Amino acid sequence: MQTLNELLRDPVVVALAAASGALLLVAILLLVLWRRSVARSKAAAQRVEDQLDAADELEYRLAEQSSRLRIIRELHEVAVRSVSDVIRQADGARYAATNDPQAAVRSLPAIADASRGTLAELRRLAGIVREGEVGAAPQPRLKSVRELFAAVRARGLVVRFEERGDRFEITQGAELAVVGILQEALENALGHGGAGTEARVTFAWSGSGLQVLVDDDGERAAAKRQGLDPDEIGIDKGYTAADDLAALTEEPAGRGIAEMRERAQHFGGVFTSYRVPGVGFSVSVVFPKLRGQPGAGPRS
List the chain domain ranges: 1-137, 142-287
In the predicted model, is pLDDT for residue 295 greater than 50?
A: no
Confidence (pLDDT) at 256: 83
Higher pLDDT, 281 or 34: 281
19 vs 23: CA distance, rounded Å:
6
* Element of type H or E holding 83: helix 11-99
pLDDT value, residue 88: 79
Report the range of poorest mean pLDDT among 137-146, 248-257, 266-275, 283-292: 137-146
Residue 199 has pLDDT above 90, yes or no: yes
Q: Is residue 299 scored above 50 in pLDDT?
A: no
Report the distance separating Cα 240 and Cα 246, nearest Å.
10
Question: How confident is residue 238, by pLDDT bands cut at 50, 70 and 90?
Answer: low
- Kindly give, in sequence order, each residue whose CB lies less than 8 Å from that of residue 271, ignoring residues fewer than 6 positions away: 181, 260, 261, 264, 265, 283, 284, 285
pLDDT of 247:
53
Q: Region 36-41: what's the mean pLDDT? A: 80
What CATH number labels 142-287? 3.30.565.10
* Residue 296: pLDDT band with limits 50, 70, 90: very low
**Overall average pLDDT of the 35-44 stretch:** 79
Long-range contacts of 153-158 (CB under 8 A, 24+ apart): 155/190, 155/195, 156/190, 156/194, 156/195, 156/196, 156/197, 157/186, 157/189, 157/190, 157/195, 157/197, 157/198, 157/199, 158/196, 158/197, 158/198, 158/199
CA 68 to mean position of chain CA atoms? 23
Distance CA 63, CA 24 (A): 58
What's the mean per-residue pLDDT of the chain? 75
- Which of 30-34, 137-141, 152-156 has the lowest average pLDDT? 137-141
Rounded to 10 deg, the angle between the 172-193 and 218-225 helix axes is: 30
Q: Cβ(275)–Cβ(247) under 8 Å? A: yes
Q: Of 93-97, 271-275, 290-294, which gets the smallest average pLDDT?
A: 290-294
Q: What is the pTM of this model?
A: 0.50
- pLDDT given at position 129: 65
Are 217 and 190 in contact by the 8 Å Cβ rule? The answer is no
Report the distance separating Cα 131 and Cα 267, nearest Å: 14
| Distance in angstroms (rounded) separating the CA atoms of residues 238 and 153 | 33
Ramachandran sector of residue 292 (left: φ over 0; alpha: ψ -120 to 50; beta: rest): left
The CA distances from residue 69 to 29, 80, 129, 131, 133, in Å, are: 59, 16, 8, 11, 12
